[in-house]
C-alpha cells in the first residue's frame, strides 16, 4: 500500500505542475456548506453543526466544490483549480467510496470543446496513453447501438434495452427517456470504451445538461462532455451555464423530481444564484476523479489499492 501511496503523491505533484505551467491558481473552498446539490441522482451526506448562537443547523458535506468555485470566478479569480475531498452517500464499490478525491478546474474564455482537449492532455500525461478519441453522444450511440439518441422514442429504447439483455430495470420509470439512455450508456456502451486511448463523449441531450449551456441546432444539445478510459468514467465537464434565472429554474425542477421520488428536500444554493446574477464569466469547468486516475495510472484493479483507507477501514 505504501508503495502506491508514494506513487500517488508523485502523480498529485505532476497534476499541480500541470496547472502551474498554465498559470492556473490553486484554491481551497469549504468542504462543509449550508447548501448542497439538487441533482436527484446524488445523495449528500449531512452534518449537524452548532453555530455561534448555540443553534443546531443541518449542513452538507460537498459532493463537489463547484458552487463555491463559481462564486470565486464571479469575484474575479480567473482560471482556478482545486484538489479536494468530496462526499456522496450510497456510493461504495470498486470505483466508488463515500469520501473521494476530486480535481476540479475552471477556464474563463474556454468552451467545452477547448476544455475537453486540455483534460485529455492531463490524462495523457499522467497515464501515458494514446491521444483521446472524441465522439459526439449521437455518434457513440450510432456506433454501438445503431440509433440516434436525440430522436428515438422511449418505447424503442425499452425494446433495445430488452434485446441487449439489460437487467435490473424494476422500478425504472417506463416513460423516462433519460434513465433508459443512461442505462444503455452505462451497461452496454461504457464497457466497450476500451483500448489504449481515452474516449471523449460530448454534446449530450439537452435533457442531460445538468449545469451546462444548451445549444439549439438540428435538435437541442448540452455543451457537456465526459471522458472514459478502459470503460471507466474519469471526468465530466461543461460549458458552464451562466444564466441565473435558468439555473434557478433547473434547481426548482430538480427539487420537484426529488419530491416525486420521495427524496429529501435539500433546498438550493441561493448564494450561487446571487453570484450568477452578478455575472459569471463565460467559462468551462470539469471535475475529474483523482482516485480513478491514479488507479488507472498504476494499473490497479480498485481505487482501494491507491487510497490510505476506504470507508470500511476508516
SS3 173: coil
pLDDT at 268: 93
Handedness of CA 179, 182, 188, 191 (dihedral sign): negative
pLDDT, the chain, mean: 94
Q: CB of 117 within 8 A of CB of 291?
A: no
Return the sign of the alpha-carbon dihedral for residues 264, 270, 275, 279: positive
Q: Is 45 exposed, middle or buried (0-12, 13-18, 19+ CB in 10 A)?
A: middle
Cell output for 231: 470503460
Q: Residue 90: its pLDDT value, please?
A: 86
Residue 104 near residue 79 (C-beta atoms within 8 A) = no
For residue 301, what pLDDT is reported? 94
Assigned C-alpha cell, 101: 478525491
| Sequence-separated (6 or more) residues with CB below 8 Å from residue 13 | none
Residue 35 DSSP label: -
Query: What per-residue confidence (pLDDT) applies to 51?
Result: 85
What's the pLDDT score for residue 1? 85
Maximum separation of any 2 CA atoms in the chain, in Å: 61
Q: Strand 32-33 vs strand 45-50: parallel, antiparallel, or unpaired?
A: unpaired
DSSP string, 55-98: -EEEEEE-S-SHHHHHHHHHTT--SEEEEEEEE-TT--SSS--S
pLDDT of residue 11: 98
- pLDDT (0 to 100) of residue 53: 87
b vs e for 161-190, b when ≥16 Cβ sit within 10 Å of the residue's Cβ?
A: beeeebeeeeeeeeeebebbbebbbebbbb
Residue 20: name the closest of 102, 86, 83 by CA: 83
pLDDT at 171: 66
Can you give the pLDDT at residue 170?
66
Task: Residues 2-129+265-313: name the CATH superfamily.
Answer: Bira Bifunctional Protein; Domain 2 (3.30.930.10)
β-strands 220-229, 283-289: how paired?
Answer: unpaired
Positions of the chain with pLDDT lower than 70, given as ranges: 170-171
Q: Could you tell me the residue ranges of all domains in the chain?
A: 2-129+265-313
Amino acid at each position: 500500500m505504501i508503495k502506491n501511496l508514494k506513487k500517488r503523491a508523485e502523480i498529485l505533484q505532476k497534476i499541480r505542475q500541470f496547472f502551474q505551467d498554465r498559470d492556473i491558481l490553486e484554491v481551497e473552498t469549504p468542504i462543509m456548506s449550508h447548501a448542497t446539490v439538487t441533482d436527484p441522482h446524488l445523495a449528500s451526506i449531512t452534518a449537524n453543526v452548532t453555530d455561534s448562537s448555540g443553534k443546531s443547523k443541518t449542513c452538507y458535506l460537498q459532493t463537489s466544490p463547484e458552487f463555491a468555485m463559481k462564486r470565486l470566478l464571479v469575484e474575479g479569480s480567473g482560471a482556478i483549480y482545486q484538489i479536494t475531498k468530496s462526499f456522496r452517500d450510497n456510493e461504495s464499490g470498486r470505483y466508488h467510496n463515500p469520501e473521494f478525491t476530486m480535481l476540479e478546474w475552471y477556464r474563463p474564455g474556454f468552451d467545452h470543446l477547448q476544455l475537453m482537449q486540455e483534460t485529455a492532455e492531463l490524462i495523457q500525461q499522467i497515464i501515458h496513453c494514446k491521444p483521446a478519441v472524441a465522439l459526439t453522444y449521437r455518434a457513440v450511440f450510432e456506433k454501438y447501438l445503431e440509433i440516434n439518441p436525440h430522436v428515438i422514442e422511449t418505447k424503442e429504447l425499452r425494446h433495445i434495452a430488452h434485446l441487449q439483455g439489460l437487467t435490473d430495470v424494476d422500478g425504472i420509470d417506463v416513460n423516462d427517456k433519460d434513465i433508459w439512455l443512461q442505462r444503455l450508456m452505462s451497461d452496454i456502451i461504457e464497457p466497450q470504451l476500451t483500448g489504449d486511448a481515452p474516449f471523449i463523449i460530448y454534446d449530450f441531450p439537452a435533457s442531460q445538461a445538468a449545469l451546462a449551456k444548451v445549444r439549439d441546432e438540428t435538435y437541442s444539445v448540452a455543451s457537456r462532455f465526459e471522458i472514459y478510459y478502459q470503460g471507466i468514467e474519469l471526468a465530466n465537464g461543461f460549458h458552464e451555464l451562466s444564466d441565473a434565472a435558468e439555473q434557478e429554474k433547473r434547481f426548482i425542477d430538480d427539487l420537484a423530481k426529488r419530491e416525486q421520488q420521495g427524496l429529501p428536500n435539500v433546498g438550493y444554493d441561493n448564494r450561487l444564484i446571487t453570484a450568477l446574477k452578478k455575472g459569471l464569466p463565460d467559462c468551462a469547468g470539469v471535475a475529474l476523479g483523482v482516485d480513478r486516475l491514479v488507479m488507472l495510472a498504476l494499473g490497479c484493479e480498485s481505487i482501494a489499492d491507491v487510497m490510505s483507507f476506504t470507508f470500511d477501514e476508516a
